[in-house]
Structure 1
Amino acid sequence: MNDRAQQAEEEWRRERPDIDAGVMATVGRLLEAAQLMERDKLAPLAAQFGLQKGEFDVIATLRRAGTPYRLMPTELYEGLMLSSGAMTSRLDRLERSGLIERLPSPSDRRSVLVQLTPAGLALIDKVLPLHVANEQQALAVLTAQEQGQLNQLLAKLISGLRS
């Protein structure tokens, strides 16, 4: 299998030996891994159930919120790191599919709550074990210890990027 990051690193070392091509290779691999995970593992599974990857993320976020499986739209888009416009289009599609419903907020007449419908709850409960198995399969190339190390290192990296 062609390691594109290694090839790019070698080319940069040849063309610009004065720069740190190793760091470019590391970031390239991280981005490629995320892209491959999304394209080859996550998106196809969601599509099997008539969902886009982003729609799966919304119903999964509502499910993990616990009973009654509802959140404010702001909580959803902040939790998923989306713009409000991107969230609105996802919610519109999910509502048309009968997987979520928008309810008036009892505390603020100007806002709504987004809640899983029984069909949405049934779907996420059906898909979630397959999703976890899919992720386990994707990470199976790493030992349990390596998976733990990767998890810790990524958490540290994300924390550093946020500060």
Structure 2
Amino acid sequence: MEHTGPADEVDRIVDAWHHVRPDLELEPLTVFSRVSRLARHLDLARRTAFARHSLETWEFDVLSALRRAGEPFRLSPGTLVTQTLVTSGTMTNRIDRLESRGFVQRHRSPDDRRGVLVELTEEGLARVDAAMSDLLDIEAKVLTALSPTERPQLAALLRTVTAQFDE
């Protein structure tokens, strides 16, 4: 198959498939194998960034949901479940663990006597902000392979492909 630019590992894989199965339309493989490889590299980079701040990926997910809520950085456990795509039992366990580390605290909901709100502590806020800054530095370095005009183009193309899963 023809390539533009230097060949990469995906090109070698696709070429091998083309050789043994020339009847297959391999275009999806040229795209999604690269997406998959990039996802593995980004997952490792994220884990590394979070580890520098003594956070697990799931901890960052919960803390960042609270941070994005804006002041006073409070959400209900149900909202956290929705935003992090875990079960309520899992979220209860996560909140317990984050509370034991001093990153969040529970408060009674002023609107519902039985309800609870989860709030970032100062330590949780500092930790998630530092991890987010580190993460963005790492991800910005990945994007240096693209020109400033190519970056928004890639974001738009990926949005188009992923939008079908957000419906």
Q: In 1, distance between residues paired with 2:29 and 2:85?
A: 25
Q: In 2, distance between residues paired with 1:82 and 1:3?
A: 36
Aligned length: 162
Residue 139 of structure 1 is matched in structure 2 by 143
Q: CA deviation at 1:144?
A: 1.3
- 51, 57, 61: which one pairs with 1:53? 57
Q: CA deviation at 1:76?
A: 1.7
Q: What SS does structure 2 have at the residue aligned with 1:115? A: strand
Greater helix fraction, Structure 1 or Structure 2: 1
Are 1:8 and 2:8 counterparts?
A: no
Q: CA deviation at 1:16?
A: 2.1
Q: CA deviation at 1:15?
A: 2.3
Greater Cα radius of gyration, structure 1 or 2: 2
Residue 132 of structure 2 is matched in structure 1 by 128
Residue 106 of structure 1 is matched in structure 2 by 110
Amino acid at match of 1:35: R
**TM-score of the pair, normalised by structure 1:** 0.87
Q: In 2, distance between residues paired with 1:20 and 1:77?
A: 40
Residue 23 of structure 1 is matched in structure 2 by 28
Contact 2:53 2:130 survives alignment (8 Å): no
Q: CA deviation at 1:2?
A: 8.0
Q: CA deviation at 1:14?
A: 2.0
Residue 74 of structure 2 is matched in structure 1 by 70
**TM-score of the pair, normalised by structure 2:** 0.85
When structure 1 is superposed on structure 2, of 138-147 and 123-132 the one drifting more is 123-132
Superposition CA RMSD, Å: 2.1
Amino acid at match of 2:28: V
Deviations 1:40-79 (A, max 9, x none): x111111111100221121112111101101112222322
